[in-house]
Amino acid sequence: MSVPTLMAPAADTAPPTRQARGRISGVTGAFWLFVGPFVVGLVMFVYLPIVWSVVLSFSRAQNTVTPGDWVGLQNYIDLLRPGPFLDSLITFTIFAALIVPLTFVLSLGLALLLNGVRVMRAFFRSVYFLPTACSYVVASLIWKLSIFNGVRFGLANTVLSWFGAENIAWLATTTPPWYWLVIVTVRLWLQIGFYMILFLAGLQRISPELYEAAAVDGARNAWQTFRYITFPQLRATSVAVLLLLLINAYQAFDEFFNLLGNSSFARPPLVYLYYTAQFNQDFGHGTAGAVILALLIMIVTLAQGRIFGFGRAE
283 is a contact residue toward other proteins (CB under 8 A): no
158 is a contact residue toward other proteins (CB under 8 A): yes
139 is a contact residue toward other proteins (CB under 8 A): yes
Choosing from 3, 14, 33, 216, the residue that interacts with other proteins (CB under 8 A) is: 216
b/e per residue 143-170 (b: at least 16 CB within 10 A): bbeebbbbeeebebbeeeeeeeeeebeb
191 is a contact residue toward other proteins (CB under 8 A): no
Give every CB contact of residue 97 below 8 A, 6+ residues apart in sequence.
none
Could you give the CA distance from residue 14 to residue 20 in angstroms, rounded to a whole number?
11
116 is a contact residue toward other proteins (CB under 8 A): yes
Rounded to a whole number of angstroms, the minimum distance from the CB of residue 123 to other proteins is 8
Choosing from 52, 150, 275, 296, the residue that interacts with other proteins (CB under 8 A) is: 150
128 is a contact residue toward other proteins (CB under 8 A): yes
The SS3 assignment for 185 reads helix
130 is a contact residue toward other proteins (CB under 8 A): yes
Closer of 99 and 147 to other proteins (Cβ):
147
Using the 8-state DSSP alphabet, how is residue 252 labeled? -
Report whether 260 contacts 171 (CB < 8 A): yes
Rounded to a whole number of angstroms, the minimum distance from the CB of residue 209 to other proteins is 10
142 is a contact residue toward other proteins (CB under 8 A): yes
Choosing from 39, 42, 145, 165, the residue that interacts with other proteins (CB under 8 A) is: 145
Could you give the CA distance from residue 106 to residue 191 in angstroms, rounded to a whole number?
10
Rounded to a whole number of angstroms, the minimum distance from the CB of residue 195 to other proteins is 14
b/e per residue 2-20 (b: at least 16 CB within 10 A): eeeeeeeeeeeeeeeeeee
Contact string 218-247 vs other proteins (x = CB under 8 A): ------------------------------
DSSP class per residue in 68-97: -SB-TTHHHHHHHSSSHHHHHHHHHHHHHH
Pick the closest to residue 109 from 124, 91, 93, 97 (CA basis).
Answer: 124
Binding window for other proteins (CB under 8 A); candidates: 19-27, 31-39, 162-170, 305-313: 162-170
Name the amino acid, one letter, at 206: I
Closer of 136 and 283 to other proteins (Cβ):
136
Residue 59 pairs with which residues in a beta bridge?
Answer: 70
CA atoms within 13 A on the CB side of 273: 25
Binding window for other proteins (CB under 8 A); candidates: 47-55, 68-76, 150-158, 284-292: 150-158
Rounded to a whole number of angstroms, the minimum distance from the CB of residue 155 to other proteins is 6
Closer of 147 and 239 to other proteins (Cβ):
147
Binding window for other proteins (CB under 8 A); candidates: 25-33, 57-65, 148-156, 301-309: 148-156
152 is a contact residue toward other proteins (CB under 8 A): yes
Using the 8-state DSSP alphabet, how is residue 107 labeled? H
Rounded to a whole number of angstroms, the minimum distance from the CB of residue 244 to other proteins is 20
Could you give the CA distance from residue 295 to residue 298 in angstroms, rounded to a whole number?
5
Question: Which residues contribute to the site for other proteins (CB under 8 A)?
Answer: 110, 113-114, 116-117, 124, 127-128, 130-131, 134, 138-139, 142-147, 149-155, 158, 167, 169-172, 189, 193, 212, 215-216
